[in-house]
Amino acid sequence: MSLTQTGLAQGPARGPFAASTKIMWTRWAIVLGLLLLWEIAARLGGNANLIAPPSSIVQALFTQILPDGEIRGAIALALLEVCVAYALSIAGGLALGLAIGSTDLSRRSLFPIVLLLYAIPQAVLLPLFTLGFGIGPAAKIAFGFSHGVFPILVNVVAGMRNVNPLYLKAARAMGAGSSDIFRNVTFPHMVASFFAGLRLSMTMTMLGVILAELYVSTGGIGHFTKLFAETFDPSPLFALIGTLALMAIVLNELVRTIERRFSLWKESS
């Protein structure tokens, strides 16, 4: 019951470049076409307070965003927060998952509570987090952690549970004791499930950190997005968000590469 299985029909772990040439060219053509359309529409009819043509965005990127030390600092801080929160999610998810999945009783009693917590829309806890952790990086890391820990936790527990009973039977028939079975059958299976949850965890961690950053509008990224939005200055706003989106894509690809590297030895499910 990995999240990726009960939930979204996520495609296989292929990168965006795994496509035939014709498809690749069509995609690039469409992207360029859309950019061109955007440029023309924005310049001709768009409200300059709301829409920025791509050229202005690129210009704003190099004149307002990148040179500004404060903004660079805010982006770097956000990146750091995501990484720390992600590391904590992995460690915490693994530890908690192993603990909860270790015995039948702990799993049957505690896992439903975990799933219930997962169903709560965490955004409403955001003000609470800031009350508790302040408006500095701690709150953002904590909030990122509280989002990112769940996919790992759930996948670890599920991975420990869903081992094909045929393997267990075969192992016992070969005379393996319970610690052997854990080491050689359950654990490797859980690891596969664990890696499947890594990408979703990264997405959720980023979600949490960004939500927190946007909420706290006194500093960091939230400050600048609020500033640009309130002064109706779309170009630097688009540029800033574009930079962050790029960061998100890069991080996602990094995790995807790691996932693929470790999926090579995993059996196809």
User: Residue 109, interface with another protein (CB under 8 A)?
Assistant: yes
User: Which residues neighbour 106 within 8 Å (Cβ) at sequence distance 6 or greater?
Assistant: 99, 100
Identify the residue among 40, 128, 170, 258 touching another protein (CB under 8 A): 128
> The tokens of 167 are what?
């393997």
Of 54-62, 120-128, 152-160, 184-192, the window that binds another protein (rule: CB under 8 A) is 120-128
Which range of residues in 35-43, 62-70, 184-192, 243-251 is near another protein by CB under 8 A? Answer: 243-251
| 3-state SS, residue 37 | helix
Whichever of 41 and 249 has its CB closer to another protein, that residue is 249
Which of 1, 48, 99, 123 touches another protein (CB under 8 A)? 123
CB contact at 8 A, 198 and 184? no
Buried/exposed 169-194: b ≥16 CB within 10 Å, e otherwise: eebeeeebeeeebeeebbebbbbbbb
* Residues of this chain, 32-91, that bind another protein according to CB under 8 A: 50
Shortest Cβ 165–another protein spacing (Å): 21
Q: Cα–Cα distances in Å, from 121 out to 116, 146, 205?
A: 11, 11, 14
Nearer of residues 60 and 171 to another protein, judged by Cβ: 60
Identified binder of another protein from the candidate list 44, 116, 173, 174, rule CB under 8 A: 116
Select the residue interacting with another protein from 69, 121, 165, 175 (CB under 8 A): 121
Collapsing DSSP to helix, strand or coil, 120 comes out as: coil
The Cα 141–Cα 85 span in angstroms is 5
Buried b (16+ CB within 10 A) or exposed e, 110-144: bbeebeeeeeeebeeebeebbeebebebebbbbbb
Q: Is 112 in the site for another protein (CB under 8 A)?
A: yes
* Sole window of 56-64, 103-111, 167-175, 177-185 interacting with another protein (rule: CB under 8 A): 103-111
**Of 191 and 247, which CB lies nearer to another protein in the complex structure?**
247
4 binds another protein (CB under 8 A): no
Q: Closest separation between CB of residue 149 and another protein, Å? A: 16
Is residue 144 at the binding interface for another protein, with CB under 8 A as the rule? no
Give the CA-trace dihedral at 234, 239, 244, 245, to 10 degrees: 90
- The rounded distance, in Å, linking the Cα atoms of 82 and 60 is 25
Q: Which is nearer to another protein, 118 or 187 (CB)?
A: 118
Q: Virtual CA dihedral for 109, 154, 164, 177, nearest 10 degrees?
A: -70
Residues at the site binding another protein, with contacts judged by CB under 8 A: 6-11, 14, 16, 19, 23, 26-27, 50, 105-106, 108-110, 112-113, 116, 119-128, 130-132, 199, 203, 206-207, 210-211, 214-215, 225-226, 228-229, 232, 234, 237-238, 241, 244-245, 248-249, 252
